Structure 1
Amino acid sequence: MIAQHPRKAALFLLPAAAIYGLILLYPLINSVRLSFTDSPAGGPGEWVGLQNYIEMFNDEQVIDALWRTVAYALVVCVMQNAIGLALARALFTRPRAQRVYSVLILLPMLISPLMAAFIWSAFYAPDGAINTFLRDIGLDGLTRIWLGDPDTALWAIAVVNIWMFAGFSAAIFYAGYMNMPVELLDAARIDGAGGFRRFTNIEWPLLAPSLTVNVTLSLIGSLKVFEYPLVMTNGGPAESTTTLTILVYEKIFGGQGAFSYGVTIAVLLLVVVVIMSGLINAVLRRREERI
């Protein structure tokens, strides 16, 4: 029907395309344009060509933030999906626990990121719940100023990110489990295949589509992390939690008079997100086809 009337189809799509272009494409194109200017606050500025990009790639602060952001995203992506997969398999293999635990694992997602950041900041305080628990069980040597130590601050924030969205990953993996052919799993049990063999030979390959979705979403989300480091550490200590999004915020809204430079960093973040998510998605899609 659509192929027979392409003009009518285009008319129906026109309103949605116009809204999409106004809300997404225009700001994106305008941001790229501003990155080639010296605009002080989004207004007209003089064209400076690649000056902002040359300055950015020679800025150690930006390069450090880039590698920090990528490392954070990879750790969160791996751990979030590993925990989500374990939770999903536990729900699938224990039907009686589904009603209770399926709700519990999704509860963190009901909390706003800002509220979660404040709550975990209290947990990580020197006299907070985590250090108090470690002292109570005789592990005083493991107590830390978790958010005040450059060696632990970024990974302490990563824990919050993982805690928030591991349940979301579990829900997607669980949907993949529910779509598995029951006959195949029953046949494996009858043949005497243990839990590990069933997982590696049957479950893991059949979860390929769920893995692709989970890895792509978690990678994009963690590359754009903003609320947690802003609220919990404000990029400190010693810039150990300064991600690209924090840098963009500081340059544009921090009173540094570097609006166009901040936009340039935002463009860099966009390119990193597109390249990394695109590559990962392409690799996982090819894996799905092979399976």
Structure 2
Amino acid sequence: MTEYAGVGEATWVGLDNYREIFSDQRYVQVLKNTLVYGVVVVVFQNGLGLIFAAILNSIPAVRDALRTALLVPSMLSLVIAGYVWQYLYAPMGGGLNELLASFGMSSMQQIWLGDSSIALFSVAAVHVWMFVGYSTAIFLAGYAGISTEVKDAARVDGVSPIKSFFHIDIPLLAPAITVNITLATIGTLKSFEFPFIMTGGGPDYATMTLGLKIFQLIFQDFKYGSAAALSVVMIVLVALITIIQNSYLRAREDRI
């Protein structure tokens, strides 16, 4: 509730910092970006993780080797991963556009990090790529807790693998789903590293997240009071979403 530049005396401004956050369209866009980023990452990271886990669980011979391979990206430094993907996304000579050209799909080439309509999703894709292995590992641990008798009984009754996945696997994986969604939500809502490294929040604020905006307010604009106010907004947002999410997921587990 102050205006402070890091030196000198802090000036009391009351709720002015909060009024600015909710009235300035730039801050509103930052909140929107953070929520969209979070939804995209949570849905795709856990969706792909669940699919990979189901496939790996059905082929025990290669399960451990492939599970390790999926975890390799998460072992990298976030900084290194960000710079590598920044190069892969480069419009001229970047690995992704060159790969599309080699398959005769030049029309699909994009300025992945320079187009405001797709930049946020491009950054989110890197986050999914890096941590989908974690989600897969947690789902595989959940699969280990499913009784083989249940699966065998379903197979004897003629239940197809698809129906078994939706009506047996997913309900019995409820605890693993709760853990994965909670961890992914908290991790994405405070995301900072990939937007900072790959785009700096651009183009035109398209990839500016709450974590990155707080960093800029402190270390570039020297607005400590505004940064503190935005930090409170982020903490409250993460807490509310996590509480609502956990309440629903825990209630779902109890019903199952």
TM range (shorter): over 0.9
User: Alignment partner for residue 165 of structure 2, among 199, 202, 221?
Assistant: 199
Percent identical pairs in the alignment equals 40
Pairwise mapping of residues 87-98 of structure 1 onto structure 2 (< 5 A)?
A: 87-98=52-63
- The answer for the alignment partner of 2:65 in structure 1 is 100
Alignment of 1:78 onto 2:43: yes
Deviation at 1:132, TM superposition (A): 0.5
User: Alignment partner for residue 145 of structure 2, among 152, 165, 179?
Assistant: 179
Structure 2, unaligned stretches of length 5 or more? Answer: none
Deviation at 1:289, TM superposition (A): 0.4
Answer yes or no: is the 8 Å Cα contact 1:85–1:170 preserved in 2.
yes
User: Alignment partner for residue 264 of structure 1, among 207, 224, 229?
Assistant: 229
- The answer for the alignment partner of 1:217 in structure 2 is 183
Deviation at 1:152, TM superposition (A): 1.4
Deviation at 1:46, TM superposition (A): 3.3
Give CA deviations for 1:226-264 in whole Å, capped at 9, x if unaligned.
11010101111111111111111111110x231111111
Give CA deviations for 1:69-106 in whole Å, capped at 9, x if unaligned.
10110010000000000111111111111121011011
Please tell me the residue identity of whatever aligns with 2:231. Answer: A
Over aligned residues, Cα RMSD in angstroms?
1.2
Answer yes or no: is the 8 Å Cα contact 2:88–2:96 preserved in 1.
yes
TM-score, normalised to structure 2, is: 0.97
> What SS class does the counterpart of residue 105 from structure 1 fall into?
helix
Please tell me the residue identity of whatever aligns with 2:170. Answer: W
Structure 1, unaligned stretches of length 5 or more? Answer: 1-35
> What SS class does the counterpart of residue 192 from structure 1 fall into?
coil
C-alpha separation in 2, matches of 1:43 and 1:287 = 53
Give CA deviations for 1:12-42 in whole Å, capped at 9, x if unaligned.
xxxxxxxxxxxxxxxxxxxxxxxx1223228
Pairwise mapping of residues 33-52 of structure 1 onto structure 2 (< 5 A)?
A: 36-41=1-6, 45-52=10-17
CA radius of gyration, larger in: 1
Answer yes or no: is the 8 Å Cα contact 2:29–2:205 preserved in 1.
no
- The answer for the alignment partner of 1:162 in structure 2 is 128
Pairwise mapping of residues 1-291 of structure 1 onto structure 2 (< 5 A)?
A: 36-41=1-6, 45-126=10-91, 127-254=93-220, 256-291=221-256
C-alpha separation in 2, matches of 1:40 and 1:238 = 25
TM-score, normalised to structure 1, is: 0.85
